[in-house]
Structures are given as structure tokens and as C-alpha cells.
Amino acid sequence: MSSLDSLKIVSIGGGANTGELLKLSIDLVGKESKKKALVIPTARPNPEGVPNTYKIFGDFYQDRGIETALMHDFWSFPDDTRQQEMLDEADILYVSGGDTATMMRVWEYFG
């Protein structure tokens, strides 16, 4: 991600047409070169759902030629330097849904 000035947020809630909004997230990147998506499962109340979440959204982006990575799986976290590199390299950050209160606690804890 080159600059916060160009940051765009697409918020997807329950019952939304997720496919159309995910397509919008791709269109908003606007660059022609290889795009990268990063799935961040911090809103999951249970780590068991992470592989399924990553498969669904990872497959969606990969089917459209977008390189996709998973930030963590709740059992294995990259070190701070690698996390920052992953964030810097990503054009799309997909924070998987679930529980907003859980997400806020995780973000507060880890900064």
C-alpha cells in the first residue's frame, strides 16, 4: 500500500452481496500490475474458522489473478517486522468478519 492518502475502505456486513463488494475492493485498487490481498482473521471468535474463511476469500481473489496471503492462523503469528512487510505489500486488506468486539480487543492488545 503506497499511501494512506489513497486508502479506501469497503465495509462488508452480514447479508451484504459479498461477491459484488469484493469485486469493488479489486476495482478500487486501480493499478494494472499484480495486485496482492492479505486476509487478516482478527474478528474471528474461534480460530477453527480461519482455514475456511481463508479458503473462501483467498479463492475469490486468487480466481481473479490476485496473489493472496494469510496474516496468521491464530496459532502462528509472523514477527512484527514480517507483519509490517505483509501490510506494506498488500493492496487489499481483508479483515474477516465475525465478532466486532473480539476484533477490537485483538487490535487493542496488539496495537
pTM score of the predicted model: 0.71
pLDDT at 1: 44
pLDDT at 81: 92
- Cβ(3)–Cβ(56) below 8 Å: no
Grid cell of 105 as nine digits: 480487543
CA gap 75, 41 in Å, rounded: 12
- Cβ(39)–Cβ(77) below 8 Å: no
Helix (H, G, I), strand (E, B) or coil at 106: helix
Burial track 65-91 (b if 16+ CB lie within 10 A, e otherwise): ebebbbbbeeeeeeeeeebeebeeebb
pLDDT at 21: 78
pLDDT in tens, the chain (111 residues): 445 566 676 766 655 557 787 888 888 887 777 888 888 877 665 666 666 777 777 788 888 888 988 887 667 778 889 989 998 888 888 877 667 777 777 778 766
